[in-house]
Amino acid sequence: ETGVTQSPTHLIKTRGQQVTLRCSSQSGHNTVSWYQQALGQGPQFIFQYYREEENGRGNFPPRFSGLQFPNYSSELNVNALELDDSALYLCASRMEGGTEAFFGQGTRLTVV
Amino acid sequence: GENVEQHPSTLSVQEGDSAVIKCTYSDSASNYFPWYKQELGKRPQLIIDIRSNVGEKKDQRIAVTLNKTAKHFSLHITETQPEDSAVYFCAASEDNAGNMLTFGGGTRLMVKP
């Protein structure tokens, strides 16, 4: 196991609602990235946090936002959910000076 | 931004044969190229990576080659085994720290016993 855990495992939401997904990383993993993986596709980079500051963002609208906390946990928030937001959401964390990204098991979000 | 293309999308080989998966990238500034294996319902796991100052890297039955001039890199798996069956993703990053990975679309590898 990678020591990166995500919650919840599965989630069903209605279009227009808001959702918060959580990720808990290992101690010392001060970089966390979030990815969206649609069925049958590769993960797409959403954004990255380093020491509680966003330091990179992919091609996702502002309704995708995040937070990183001092205890190496982080959140992905999505407002005004759309049907196309249905996907597996993965977080990945790295330790200071490391290059390997350790992925969590993902949260499968279904928007109906 | 970076764009990574991966081929083939599916690959079926006989146990013991070799498998090759190819990726091309668009941004010449990319310099870190990891490969991930994702088994059904599981998280992606790093299997090998290569940096732009290296042309080839091997780890037992797995090797990766990089051609910076042509902007393509490949994964080679020799002596395939049924447990190699999974989806494989290539990725590229513009910094050596592995930040903000751009992934290819994935290759479903099936190894027939």
pLDDT digits (tens, 9 = 90+) for A32-72: 999 999 998 999 999 999 999 999 999 999 999 999 999 98
Where residue B3 falls among pLDDT bands split at 50, 70, 90? very high
Residues of A in contact with B95 (CB under 8 A): none
Percent of chain A with pLDDT over 90: 83
Using the predicted structure, report yes or no on whether residue A74 has a pLDDT greater than 80. yes
Nearest CA in chain A to B103: A42
What are the strands, taking DSSP E only, across B1-113? 4-7, 10-14, 19-25, 32-38, 45-51, 56-59, 62-67, 72-77, 86-92, 102-103, 107-112
Residues of A in contact with B45 (CB under 8 A): 2, 103
> Contact, B55 vs B63, CB < 8 A?
no
**Nearest-angstrom CA–CA distance, B87 and B108:** 4
